[in-house]
A and B are shown apart, each in its own frame.
Chain A
Amino acid sequence: MWAYIARRSIQALFTLLIITVLCFILTRLSADPLAQYATNPNMSAADKEALRERLGLNQPMPVQYLKWLGLAVHGDLGNSFFSKQPVSLMISQRLPNTLKLMLTYEVVTIVISLLLGIISAVRQYSILDNVITTFSFIGFSMPIFFIALGAMLIFAVKFKEWGFPYLPTGADIWDQKDPTQYIKHMILPVSCLVIIGTAGYARFVRTSILEVLGQDYIRTARAKGLSNRVVLYKHALRNAALPLVTIIGLDIPGLLGGALVTESVYAWPGMGRLFWEYAQRGDFPVVLGILLIISSAVVIFTIITDVVYTFVDPRIRLN
């Protein structure tokens, strides 16, 4: 086991290295950090050249990368080209907001998906199953910006127009000490994410349960005279949930990246917005810092998931 973890960790380091190289190349090629100064009439050509030199952008790309990497391995993600603030500080300011949003979304999604998935599986081909399936497909195929803007229009703008209690448009955190305000601001963005997330998860739970319900040991359990409830919750659900746990484990690192569109539409000050705003400006220390954290989390959680697998399924042996 420990040898396996050590081997995977070494592999993970190489994986991370390759990821950073690719991300660096893509980020540098996608935008010139000094492009936004191109039409600044107040900066002379000499000013622009001095800035390029100061940021190290006049050096060959491999040198730029190695300099960044040299700092990163010492835990220093560098400073933003534009805000001049340490990238780690900028990330620490946004990460909590993203986690609050995304973890709420994940928990609500799992609970609703389990409920809908179970109902759908137990009442296979019933009207209820068909309704849930239809809405799952609609939710799954709907672009998030459409849902987000549509929900804002209805539950904020139109509800106010109709004289109903309405929800805030921007999901900004005005009064962090007032939990009711906070929850109110989270309702719309979380709901939009849940609609998309539930659609996928619910289908997965349904399929998983149906597969388990067809197994011999379920038939045996029924033959023993166990009630449907016991068969479902004690035998079927626990086994059907195992693949779901794996998927959730692999999804968790992705939560760190936030939800770019939802955060933008609802002005949520999270990681997704930070990434997008600075990627557009070609601020590669910020972009690479975020990508490094997310990819590290993916790699680590993949190893954790593999290890957890051995406990979940005795047939798997890591050596």
Chain B
Amino acid sequence: MKKNLSVLLSLVVLASILLAACGGTKATEAPAVATEAPAATEAPAVATEAPAAVFKTATGAWSQEPDNIIPYFTQMSYAIWIAQLTMVGLGEWDDQGNFVTELGAEVPSADNGGVSADGLTITWKLKPGLKWSDGEPLTSADVKFTWEAVVNPANAPLSRVGYEKIVSIDTPDDTTAVIKFSELYPPWQTLFTQGPNNSGSLLPKHILDGKTALESDPFIHQPTVASGPFVISEWVAGDHMTLVRNDNFYGSRPNLDQVNIKFVPTPETALAALQTGDIDWYPDFSESDITTVGALEPAIHLKVVPGADFEHYFFNEGTTAGVDGKGKADVNGFCPFKDVRVRKAITLGIDRQAFVDSLLAGKTTIPATQWPNSSWSNSNLTPDAYDAAAAGALLDEAGYKLGADGIRSGPCDGKETKLSFNFDTTDKQIRVDIALAVQSDLAKIGVEFKPNHTPGGTFFAGYTDSGIMPTGKYDMAGYTTGFYPDPMTGVMDSYSCATVPSAANPSGANNYLICDPQLDPLLAAVNASADPAVRKTALDAVQKYIFDQYYVIMMYSRANVYGYVDRFVPAAFGFYSNMNWNAELWDVK
């Protein structure tokens, strides 16, 4: 009897868990509102009512699920991607990195009167007859509402950079937005436009007007309207999104009737899914997958697009004394790195082309400056070639002689110092592999390079969490970054004396801990004009100065690596903007 009771109890427990499982199913179907979006339900009807028209569907996979669809409230690139598919802005960047219009009728310029003589007023003209996917007009009032929502203290966007410099937006008519700035803001193209490092989707006033705390509003998880080529009809958390064609999209009718996005966390699974045809494309391969994916041609096509991000190594230039009282760091960097000859020798002593050829299948390049593959790049500069002999000569000249243990040492600030130092980066496999190659190269010139690999969450920790970079607890470090779409995006924060992090300035973002009185004015000059030609000249000078100082070692320009099956026909792959910037042109064979 007692044994039966125990079995019964066990069954009850199991049954309750089972019931919980069944009862919870509705939670995964949460975006019920989105499912009711008119376009979603109408889409299949088109196929059934017109048998001649083929209902075209394509399925892609992303390695992560976006936090939400509005990049103002998240920095996930996947949120930018879904925004490009569903919630677009006034402009975007094309496959060559050029700024082009999206909802805007033309790019404002001095010639067309869009940019005032003093550069303080930008006038955007919208395309006529724009509509949200629910048929409501999309007007300049939505532009103004977007600005008000971003700067409203009751909302919590990640950044208000640029938007806080706007003093007013006038909307004389439905297609005109006159944006007035309090001061010159040369990167105005990054506002109200969507793209990488950017968050410019227009928000629908008719849906969100009067609401606050938009960062947690259901709309950003269960959007009911769209301005892009597709509308989200279903979003099953952690699993997939279904997008259907937005029949009110301004541009050409999207070729695909439906786009499915699966969330597949591992590239191995994605590769298998491409091989079985479960998915049509995967945009999240890394450079180390190039050989594997490339071997599957012609069944699976490999597309490698070198972008504007770059992997770089850099030296800790921190100094507790600062320069002229500015830019004081908590600690002094490794003493020999103060000498430009040492920095140059280490740069020359790394055979970058060798690991680009071997580990990166030769599919990317070594850039000269921090603006790789871009029209902003200083084309007069070329990266130094590997030259161990010249590196050794420079170290000799700097006073670092080879010791019996094969490691050089010499006087630095009156102290005998060995050229033996730590290098910190994340534990990503490609970084581990490349660091080993660098270690081997530098050993040949008598430099001991000791890599430490930590998870990204630890490596990139902020000052208050004792992060190694802001607190200056490193000798050399390396990671990927990029300054785009505006060439000065993030640059001032990265290199200015004012942004050197320290106990007195814990929010400083200058991870190099560089405070160079000659560099600061060069940087300021780039943002002193709204004229692209003037800015380019000033930026060339910045690049030349950083190049000559060997503050950073440009390892390689990062590439976006895509795999797609033959039936899927992608459009031009973006330079800044990945493959989603023109999704209306995607097709299937």
Q: Which residues of A contact B (CB under 8 A)?
A: 30-32, 34-49, 51-52, 54, 57-58, 79-80, 82-85, 89-90, 92-97, 99-100, 103, 149, 152-153, 156-157, 160-161, 166, 168-170, 172-174, 176, 238, 242, 245, 248-249, 252, 255, 264-267, 269-270, 273-274, 277, 280-282, 301, 304, 308, 311-312, 314
Contact = CB atoms under 8 A, between A and B. Distances in A.
Contacts of A46: 507
A288 B538 CA distance: 50
Interface SS of A by simple majority: helix
B76 to A, nearest CB: 8
Contact of B458 (A30, A103, A264, A270): A30
30 contacts: A30-B455, A31-B457, A32-B462, A32-B465, A35-B460, A35-B467, A36-B75, A39-B480, A48-B507, A49-B506, A57-B465, A82-B67, A83-B67, A84-B67, A84-B68, A92-B27, A103-B21, A152-B268, A153-B272, A156-B272, A161-B275, A166-B276, A168-B276, A169-B273, A172-B240, A273-B265, A282-B457, A308-B6, A311-B3, A314-B2
B250 interface: no
Given A41-B483, A304-B13, A31 B461 contact: yes
Contact of A52 (B10, B29, B462): B462
Contacts of A174: 240
Nearest to A159: B276
Nearest to B275: A157
A222 to B, nearest CB: 22
A85 B481 contact: no
A83 B21 contact: no
Place the interface of chain B in its size category.
35 or more
Given A35-B467, A100-B21, A277-B64, A54 B457 contact: no
A94 B511 CA distance: 38
B467 A32 contact: yes
B198 interface: yes
Interface of B: 2-3, 5-7, 9-10, 13-14, 17-18, 20-25, 27-30, 61, 64-65, 67-68, 73-76, 156, 158-161, 190, 197-199, 215-216, 220-221, 236-240, 262-266, 268-269, 272-273, 275-279, 455-462, 464-465, 467, 469, 479-483, 489-491, 493-494, 499, 506-509, 511
B265 A264 contact: yes
B237 A84 contact: no
Contact of A267 (B6, B9, B67, B264): B264
A276 B455 CA distance: 13
Contacts of B197: 40-42
Contacts of B160: 47
Nearest to A172: B239
A97 B61 CA distance: 20
B381 to A, nearest CB: 21
A167 to B, nearest CB: 9
Contacts of B272: 152-153, 156-157, 169
Top 7 A-B pairs, shortest CB-CB distance: A41-B490, A31-B457, A269-B238, A32-B461, A99-B21, A96-B24, A35-B460
B10 A308 contact: yes
Nearest to B268: A149
A294 B262 CA distance: 28
A114 B76 CA distance: 48
Contact of A168 (B28, B278, B464): B278
A36 to B, nearest CB: 7
B499 A311 contact: no
A280 B263 CA distance: 17
A301 to B, nearest CB: 8
Contacts of A44: 159, 161, 493, 509
Given A238-B3, A308-B6, A35 B462 contact: yes
